[in-house]
Chains A and B, each alone.
Chain A
Amino acid sequence: MTEEARPESPDIPAAEFEDSDLLRPIVESGVGFRVTSSLLLLVLLTGWVIFGRQLLYGLGVTGLNQPVAWGFYIVNFVFFIGISHAGTLISAILRLSQAEWRRPITRMAEVITVVVLAIGAFHPVLDLGRPDRALNIFTAGRLQSPLLWDVSSISAYFMASTVYLYIPMIPDIAILRDRGVWPHWFYTFLAWGWEGTPRQHAVLERAVSILMVLVIPIAVSVHTVISYIFAMTLQPGWHSTIFGPYFVVGAIFSGIAALMMVMIVLRRVFHLERYLKQVHFDYLSRLLLIMSLLWFYFTFSEYLTAFFGNEPSEMRVFFYKVSGPYAPFFWAMVVTNFLIPVLILSFRRTRTIPGIFIASLSVVIGMWLERLNIVVPSLANPRLPLPTGYYIPGLVEWVMFAGGIATFILGFVIFARFFPLISVWEIEEGRRLSVAETTERLEGYLPDPLPSAPGQPVSEGG
């Protein structure tokens, strides 16, 4: 709600401007926001109550047991951290490659990272019977343990992603400040004195350039390190040299799918059809198709190696997945991660926005199943001579899962209430500068003209 008239920003006039509709969810939020956030808060609160019960009675209230001590919580941890690759990594790659179509996408992608990373990072704490003991890592942590590598890499990624989200948001925050949007002090505080001067623009661009280079290796390292939690053990099905890249590919794959789902939903809810056009979905869906093929290649290599080796403990895990109790989940994973997206995205006729939504939803479900297929079967069939384990998630895990998803949606709802989901200043900058810059760049790609003047013969000696 606008409270007071503010003088105009040097970048964007205070009155109605071409991209005013990007600020509409902020200045005109109403009943929809309150109802949605209340419902989501209710789900979240239920999750916390259930977690409180788990704290009181211990992990016995879950379906976790011996030897399957990691269930939904670790599956969701890996899944959510994977989704987080949607944002900062994709945004950084698109910025670095100067892909002009990135402009309406990057902000949403970056928000996904920050929100989902926070949710994912909390899941290992849920998996602890005594979460208070997690504090022992401050005094007696073992830095040579992959678990602690995770703590440091996820913290670093969270920090870098938050900074990477915040810094390009400063000019937009200044627009909200200058338009007197409530809470005015909050926007003044976050705008950091932005006036849109050339020097400030230069500082901002330099900082974003440093961050986008920094963020890519961190993002890759995060999911590699997560794979090390599994790969550094001698458990059958986990001890694999390709787990690092396999996890990174899976993370980018699920990240792109989640990003497209978010884009399609927000496009409809906030009427962003002018900004999120078919071409954006078309480009991202081609990327999703490539990732689907790449995922299949990695999966095939991973399972073929295990099968060909014919090592007894590996084979127990293998058959547990392909023809045992986990066969429905395994084959559902193959169908949702490979068959459905490839069939939908390969043909122009089905590569429509509803088609892309179905393909993306299929991939998100499939990647969750993939995490389930990695975590549970190996624990149920340990290398030690123990009877085969089982895992049936209890109500507690399902409620906590719902709480995680509710937190994700709530994070977006709250963000959209206070900040533009599409970068206003970058769109405006694109309109002003992109065409000229892109033309110049394209001319740079073309072969240089011949040194002689047109119409004159070229001598062989130069």
Chain B
Amino acid sequence: MARQAEPKWIFALQVASVCAIWVFVLGISAWIVHLLRLSHRLHDVPSASVGISIVAIPVFLTGASVLTYVFVGLQRGRQAAGKPILEPEEG
């Protein structure tokens, strides 16, 4: 027996949560870039900051990308099995 499709508001909430992860990750990346520019402007050992940024930013981006990949992949997997993502419009 097939499971019912999800209500639209839950799907919207799921999309919003994935977007929130990206806001968080891009926020952290922007913060790191800001500190990098600050150390460059103040001549305050910018090389060390570059090293940390090169490591930190890709980690955050990878985490968010994996989450997004899973979300999109699960929705596509569901569609491929012939199951609607959203509940059909009434009437």
Contact = CB atoms under 8 A, between A and B. Distances in A.
Contacts of A155: 28, 60
Given A141-B35, A152-B56, A153-B56, A194 B74 contact: yes
Nearest to A204: B70
A7 interface: yes
A197 B49 CA distance: 45
A199 B49 contact: no
A142 interface: yes
Interface string B75-88: 11110110101000
Nearest to B4: A7
A341 to B, nearest CB: 34
| Majority secondary structure of chain B interface residues (helix, strand, loop or mixed) | helix
A195 B4 contact: no
Contact of A199 (B11, B48, B52, B77): B77
A167 B67 CA distance: 8
A245 B23 CA distance: 34
Contact of A160 (B2, B14, B63, B75): B63
Contact of B52 (A152, A194, A202, A203): A152
A290 to B, nearest CB: 29
Interface residues of A, number: 43
A200 B38 CA distance: 44
Contact of A197 (B45, B71, B81): B81
Interface stretch (A45-53, A80-88, A91-99, A184-192): A184-192
Contact of B67 (A7, A140, A163, A218): A163
B74 A193 contact: yes
Contact of A143 (B4, B52, B76, B77): B52
Contact of A140 (B1, B38, B60): B38
Contacts of A144: 39, 44-45, 48-49, 52
Nearest to B27: A138
B73 A188 contact: no
Contacts of A170: 70, 74
Interface stretch (A207-215, A367-375, A450-458): A207-215
Contact of A193 (B17, B55, B78): B78
Contact of B85 (A140, A193, A204): A193
Nearest to B62: A214
Interface of A: 6-9, 138, 140-144, 148-149, 152-153, 155-156, 159-160, 163, 167, 170, 178, 185, 188-189, 192-195, 197-200, 202-204, 206-207, 210-211, 214, 218, 221
Given A142-B35, A152-B28, 8 more contacts: A7-B2, A143-B36, A143-B49, A144-B48, A159-B25, A192-B70, A193-B85, A198-B77
Interface of B: 1-4, 6-7, 10-11, 13-14, 17, 24-25, 28, 31-32, 35-36, 38-39, 44-45, 48-49, 52-53, 55-56, 59-60, 62-63, 66-67, 69-71, 73-78, 80-81, 83, 85
5 contacts: A7-B3, A192-B71, A192-B74, A203-B74, A204-B74
